[in-house]
Amino acid sequence: MPHSPIWQPFTQMKTADPPLHVERAAGAILELKEGRQIIDAISSWWVTLHGHSHPVLAEALYHQAQTLEHVIFTGFSHEPAETLAHLLCEHTPAPLQRVFFSDNGSTAVEVALKMAYQYWQQVGQPQRSRLIGFAGGYHGDTLGAMTVGQSSPWWQPFQPLLPPLTVVPYPATYPDDPDVSAKEAAALAELQKTLDAAPNEYAALFIEPLVQGAAGMRMCRPEFLQAVSALAKAYGVLVVYDEVMTGFGRTGALFACEKAGTQPDVLCLSKGLSGGCLPLAVTLATEAIYQAFYDDDPARAFFHSHSYTGNPLACAVSVASLQLLLAQPHTYERLEALHWQCQQTYLADVPNLHQFRTCGTIAAMELVLDQQTSYFSALVPKLRRRFLELGVLLRPLGSTLYILPPYCITETQLAAVYGAIRQVAIEVAEGLFGQ
C-alpha cells in the first residue's frame, strides 16, 4: 500500500509508529488486518458502550437507512430525533427539558458556551460575560471548547485567540486520601473568592462531573459537586456539566449528575450517545434558558447549526443504544466491583502503582517513574506500544494508566488487561523502558 495521506489526530506524525489497520471488530475485540486480536480497553476513545458491531445498533442503522438518511433540521423534524429527545428529557434531571442537537463533544460545549453567554444578554444582564473553569479541565479542541479548558497542556499556541477564563482548583482525590477535605475546602474558598470579587459578572461555570477525563481520570467526590453547584446557584451563575465522557453509565449511574445528586442548568452529551456507532451530540438546557430565546423577534433566536444536526441515522442508533442501557443497567453497574477485584488480584503487590481509584466503569492508577512524565514524554508512546504487544489497547495519560472498557467486556478479558498492566509496571520498575 502506498504511503498514507492521512494526518492523524493527537499524533506527531514524524515519530509515530505506522497505524494498525483494523479489519473488523466484535464486542471488546479489535481484529487487525493480519488477524491479530487486541482488547479495546478504552472503548475506542471512550465511545463504544455495548461493544463493537453490536447487532441491535446495526439493525437500527440498517432499518433507518432504508427510510430516511438525512434531512435539513431547520423547519423539519423526524421520529428518531423526537424519540431520542423525549428519552433524554425523561432520564436526565427534571429541569433539563430542551434538547439542542449537534455533532460531537466539542460542538456540544460550543453550543453550551454560546447559549449561556447569549442567555444573559437576552435577560438584560450583558455584564455577565465571564466564565469559570477548573484546573485540568478539558472540554474539546475547537476554540470555544478550548476557552473553558485553558489549563490543558496542548493549546499554548492558541492562547492569544482565547478570551480570559477564571480557573479554580480541582480537588482530585482517591480512596483513603488524607488531604481530600483540605483540598475541597481550598477549592471552594477560591471559588467563593472569585464570585465575591465579581458577583454579577460570571455567566457560567463549566465542569466535568466526578471524573476529569483527559487530565488523567482525576476524580472528585459528589459532595464537592454539590457544594460547587450550591455556590454557583447562590450567585446566579449557570452550571454547565460536560458529560461527554461521563454520560450513559460510565460513572456507574446513567449520568454523573444523577450519581452526584446535582442538577445542572446545561448538560453536554456525546461520545456514548450513539453507543459509539455514529457522531452525534446534544446540549440539554432548562426551560428558563429556552424561554429567554423564545420571542417574536427573530434576532433573539439561537443561531447555531451544523449540516448534520439531528441526523436520522445517528438518532436511530442512539435511541437503540439508550434503550439497551435502560433495559440492561447491570452491564455497566457490574464493572466497578470487577475493577476493584482485579486491582486486588493483579496489582496490589506491584510497588510502583498507587492511587488506585474507580468510578463506575472507569479505573485509574498512577505509575511511579524515575522522573515526572507529561503527555509529551517519549516514554508514553513506548508504554502504548508495549501494551499493544501484549494484546491490549491502552493509552496512558502521562503517568496515569486507566481502563475504560466497553460494557460487554468479559471477566477473562478484563483480567487480561490487568495482567498486561502488571507486566508493564514490573518492566518499568526493572528499567526496561530506559526512562
Could you list the residues known to form a binding site for substrate, using ranges.
45, 138, 271, 305, 395
- How far, in Å, CA of 401 to CA of 217, rounded? 9
Element (H, E) at 299: none
Q: b vs e for 32-62, b when ≥16 Cβ sit within 10 Å of the residue's Cβ?
A: eeeeeebbbbbbbbbbbbbbbebeebeebbe
CA nearest neighbour of 268 among 188, 162, 431, 149: 149
d(CA 279, CA 255): 19
Q: Report how far residue 84's alpha carbon sits from residue 317's, in angstroms, rounded to the nearest whole number.
A: 10
Q: How buried is 341 (Cβ within 10 angstroms: 0-12 exposed, 13-18 middle, 19+ buried)?
A: middle
Q: In what order do the strands lie in the sheet with 353-359?
A: 353-359, 362-367, 400-403
Dihedral sign, Cα of residue 101, residue 102, residue 103, residue 109: negative
Q: Can you say which residues are annotated as belonging to the binding site for pyridoxal 5'-phosphate?
A: 105-106, 242, 306-307
On whether the CB atoms of residues 268 and 236 are closer than 8 A, the answer is no
The amino acid sitting at 314 is: A
Max CA separation in the chain (angstroms): 70
Beta-carbon count within 10 A of 94 CB = 10
Which residue positions form the known binding site? 45, 105-106, 138, 242, 271, 305-307, 395
Q: Which residues contact 226 (CB under 8 A, 6 or more apart)?
A: 260, 261, 262
Within 10 angstroms of residue 89's Cβ, the number of other Cβ atoms is 15
Q: First-to-last CA distance in the chain?
A: 35
